[in-house]
Amino acid sequence: RRCLIGADGTVWTYAELQQRVDRIARVLVQDMGLVPGNRVLLRGANSPMLAACFLAVFKAGGIAVGTMPLLRARELVTIIDKAQITLALCDARLAEELTLAGAQCPTLRRVMHFNGPQGGAVMPGAVSLEQAMDAQPAGFTAVDTAATDVCLMAFTSGTTGQPKAAMHFHRD
């Protein structure tokens, strides 16, 4: 059965979504070094791939921190610093502002891109999320978490346009 339908016509079944979520979770843990409780910045427009990234972060025990595609480096720096982001998954079409922000954020250790030309890699020689997923075996056992563990942080902009507050959502 169909599960996700993207604006570009992409259609994923529930089984296809689960396969992608499991492989992204493996990339997060095995390739990027995610440990439960790490915050992962997710940057992209609404798409099946972004939805899979959110679910993979949850499954791997991480905390997803979504950002709006229109945010600039200045706002991203604030979010990365306040949330103590260590990893990021970013749509390659939005990589420029995150690259500028990352240069100012020592906590951000690893960024992987998706949805770019030639499989998602932004820089020559870089591995895209899609390429890293292809190298992973199927299946991933969800990390055992408590209902009170945070799974999502959402920032608000307020009247200044600066991200200033975070709402925490728990796994229950």
d(CA 27, CA 82): 25
pLDDT of residue 159: 46
d(CA 81, CA 124): 28
Cα within 13 Å of Cα(63), Cβ side: 21
pLDDT of residue 77: 95
Phi-psi region of 161 (alpha: psi -120 to 50; beta: other; left: phi over 0): left
The DSSP bridge pattern shows strands 11-13 and 165-170 to be unpaired
Lookup result for tokens 């945010």: 71
Structure tokens at 152: 């999502």
Lookup result for tokens 């016509």: 9
pLDDT of residue 168: 62
In terms of pTM, does the model score above 0.85?
A: yes
pLDDT along the chain (172 residues), means of 10: 92 96 98 96 95 98 94 94 95 94 95 78 72 95 92 75 58 59
Enumerate the H helices of the chain as residue ranges.
Answer: 14-26, 48-59, 73-83, 95-102, 129-134
CB 140 within 8 A of CB 152: no
pLDDT of residue 87: 97
pLDDT of residue 171: 62
